[in-house]
A and B are shown apart, each in its own frame.
Chain A
C-alpha cells in the first residue's frame, strides 16, 4: 500500500522513481528506528498509514488532497526526502554533480551573470 502510494507521488517515467529508490523500504527502516528517540514521529506515522488504509490509490485521489492535510503532508515529505537522498533520485534523476575529485572548481563562466 505504502509502496503504491509513493509510486504515485514519485512515478517511474523517463527517469527512476520511488520504486527504483526503494522509498517505501527506506521509510519503514527509519520509522522503525524512531522508537528510541522520536516515538512521537512513529505515532504520527502510524496515524497517517491508518488513514491511507482502504483508500483507492490513484492520481484522482491524490489530486484531491490538500497539501496541508497532516497525514498526506507527512507521507509526502518522507517520500520526497527518501527519494532525493537516494542514488536514483539524487544522481540518476537530478544529476547532482558533487562529491567529486576536481583539479579546478567549475566557476561561473557566464558574462550575463555579472550584471543584474
Chain B
C-alpha cells in the first residue's frame, strides 16, 4: 500500500494552502480531489452572453433543478445533485451550492477577504450567548498577515476596530454608484470602505494584476484572483513532494486499533474502484459539511465524536433580498465600464460595536454597488414598448443601483445539525447528508434591521427605490456554510482544538469552515485559511519534536 506523510482531502482554499505549507517543509503529501483537473488558462476566458447557447442561464430548468448556485459559465465545475444529492426535512429547505474540481470553490468565489475581530471571537463574553472561540485576534493575526501577504489582498486601511486592517495592496477603485453610496454612508455616519478582495491591483508574487474584465466568478484565466490552481499549487508542485490525484472521491478515514487514523479510503470517480492509501497524518479539507460527512461515515457515531457535537451547530450567514432601484443623478450619463471589477462598497458591521442594539445580538455587513452592469435586469419589468422603451432602458442603464446583505451572523444552535441519511446514497454508494437548519428569532430580527438600513442608505444617496420587498434567504443560500465540527478548549463541548486537530484522534486535522464557533459577520475564507496556516505550523512543530 502507498504511504505518505500527510494526506490532504480537498484542494480548495484550505487544502491548497496545507499542501503548499507541508510540502515546502519537506513532507510527502498526497492531495486527493473528488473533481476533475482544470487548466484555467485553457478552460476559462472572456465570454459574451451571446457566445453561450443559453446566454448564461443554462438550458431552461437545468441549473435551478440540479446545479444549485451555478451559472452556464461555471456549472460544469459544480456538483450535479443527481450524482451527489443531499436531503432535508420537507419544511427546512437548505440550499447547498458545491464544486468538485481541482481548486474547489476558489475558482469562482467572490474573493471577499475579511479579518474577523475579537468582537466576534469573544462575542459570548460580551452578550452571554453561546461560546467564545478558543482563540483571540492576537493568536490568529500573524497568520492573517502571512496569508494576506502571500495571496495578495486589495484593500484600504480603514481603522475600524471591528474590521481589522491587514497587509494590503492598493484598493480596487470605486465606480460612480459606489462613490455616491460611500458619500451617503458618511452622511448617515455608517462605516464604509471598498470591498476587500483577494484580487491583485498590481503585480504580486509573479502573478499579473487584474485586467478588469469582470469575468471573475466564471473563472480567472490569468490568476489575478486568488485560487488554488494559480497561487498555492504551483509552489507546492515545485517541491516535488506532492502527488495530486483528481477524480478521487474520499468516503471515510481508515482507523487502526489504537484509535489513530492510518489513512483514507477513496473511490475512483469513473471506474468506481475502491482504493486505500496510508499516511501518518490525515487532513480533511473538503469543505465544512463534506468533512463532517466523511467523519460521520468513518466510525459508528462519528469519528472523534466523544463530545456528541459533531454535525451540530451548522450555520450559514444570513442572506436575503436587499433594495434595488436607480441613482437619478446617473441617468442619461455616458456608459462607463462599471462592472469590470467586482466587489462594490462594503459597510462593515456597526451593530453592537460601540452601542448595544436592544432588538438583537451580533451584527451584519452590507454591500452597495451599481452602474452599467452587463444585463439590464430592470428592463425585464420596465413598462412600455417600442423606441420609447429602448430609450428609457438606455437612459436608466448607467443609473442601476442596489444595496444588499453581505452576510449577517446566524446564531449557533445545537438544533441546527447534519446527519447521515439512512436511505440515500450518492453515485459512489456513500451515504449523503441530511441537513436540518432553520433561522432563529434573533436571525429574523437582524434581517429586518438590515432591510431598514438598506433603504436608509439608498435614500441617503438620493436613490429612487423600485424594489424593497423583504425576503429572507434560505439557509445555505449565502454559500458561507460553517460549523458542524466546532473548535473549543473543552473536549466535552467541541470536536477540534484551537489548532483544528480533533481532541479524540491526535493525527486528524479538519480544516475549513467546520471549525467555526460562530459565523461572525465577515466573509469566512480568510479566517479558514489562517486557521489552516496555524494548524500546519503546529503540525510541523510537533514533527520537529518527533511527536508525529
Contacts and interface: CB of A to CB of B under 8 A. Distances in A.
Contacts of A15: 390
B384 to A, nearest CB: 8
Contact of B173 (A8, A90, A107): A107
A112 B61 CA distance: 45
A53 interface: no
Contacts of A98: 213-214, 337-340, 372-374
Interface string A2-15: 00000011110101
B179 A81 contact: no
Given A96-B372, A107-B175, A37 B390 contact: no
Interface string B196-221: 00000000000000111111000000
Smallest CB-CB A-B distances: 10 pairs: A37-B61, A38-B61, A107-B173, A34-B60, A97-B337, A38-B60, A85-B55, A108-B179, A95-B335, A85-B49
A114 B337 contact: no
Interface of A: 8-11, 13, 15, 17, 29-31, 33-34, 36-38, 41, 59, 62-63, 67, 76-77, 80-82, 84-87, 90, 93-108, 110, 112-116
8 contacts: A81-B55, A95-B335, A95-B372, A98-B374, A100-B337, A101-B213, A112-B329, A116-B187
Given A33-B54, A99-B48, A103-B211, A80 B60 contact: no
B461 A116 contact: yes
Given A37-B65, A94-B393, A99-B213, 17 more contacts: A9-B389, A10-B390, A30-B60, A34-B60, A37-B66, A62-B386, A63-B385, A81-B55, A84-B376, A87-B48, A94-B335, A94-B376, A96-B374, A100-B213, A107-B174, A108-B173, A108-B174
Given A80-B380, A97-B372, A101-B213, A115 B65 contact: no
A102 B335 contact: no
A13 B390 contact: yes
Nearest to A21: B50
B183 A113 contact: yes
Q: B interface, how many residues as a size bin?
A: 35 or more
Contacts of B62: 36-37
B337 A106 contact: yes
B336 interface: yes
A15 B335 CA distance: 16
B183 to A, nearest CB: 5
Interface in B364-414: 372-376, 379-380, 382-383, 385-387, 389-390, 393-394, 397
A94 B215 contact: no
A84 B72 CA distance: 17
Nearest to A82: B55
A115 B213 contact: no
Contact of B211 (A62, A102, A116): A102
Nearest to B48: A99
Contacts of B339: 98
Name which of A85, A98, A112 has the most chain B CB atoms within 10 A of its CB: A98
A40 B383 CA distance: 25
B257 to A, nearest CB: 50
Contacts, number: 161
B161 to A, nearest CB: 25
B176 A113 contact: yes
A99 B214 contact: yes
B380 A90 contact: no
Contacts of A9: 385-386, 389
B65 A77 contact: no
Given A17-B390, A37-B59, A37-B65, A110 B335 contact: no
B56 interface: yes
A85 B375 contact: yes
Name which of B48, B62, B394 has the most chain A CB atoms within 10 A of its CB: B48
B77 interface: no
A24 to B, nearest CB: 15
Contacts of B380: 77, 80-81
A63 B172 CA distance: 46
B180 interface: yes
Contacts of A107: 173-175
Contacts of B386: 8-11, 59, 62
Nearest to B185: A116
Contact of A90 (B49, B179, B382): B49
Given A62-B385, A99-B215, A94 B372 contact: yes
B212 A100 contact: yes
A45 B372 CA distance: 30
A105 B344 CA distance: 13
A67 B490 CA distance: 62
Given A94-B376, A105-B172, A116 B460 contact: yes
A86 B50 CA distance: 5
Nearest to A7: B386
B46 interface: yes
Given A34-B61, A85-B49, A108 B385 contact: no
B178 interface: yes
Contacts of B60: 30-31, 33-34, 37-38, 41
B180 A93 contact: no
B387 A11 contact: yes
Given A87-B50, A96-B374, A105 B393 contact: no
A10 B50 contact: no
A101 B214 CA distance: 10
A69 B214 CA distance: 36
Contacts of B374: 90, 96, 98-99
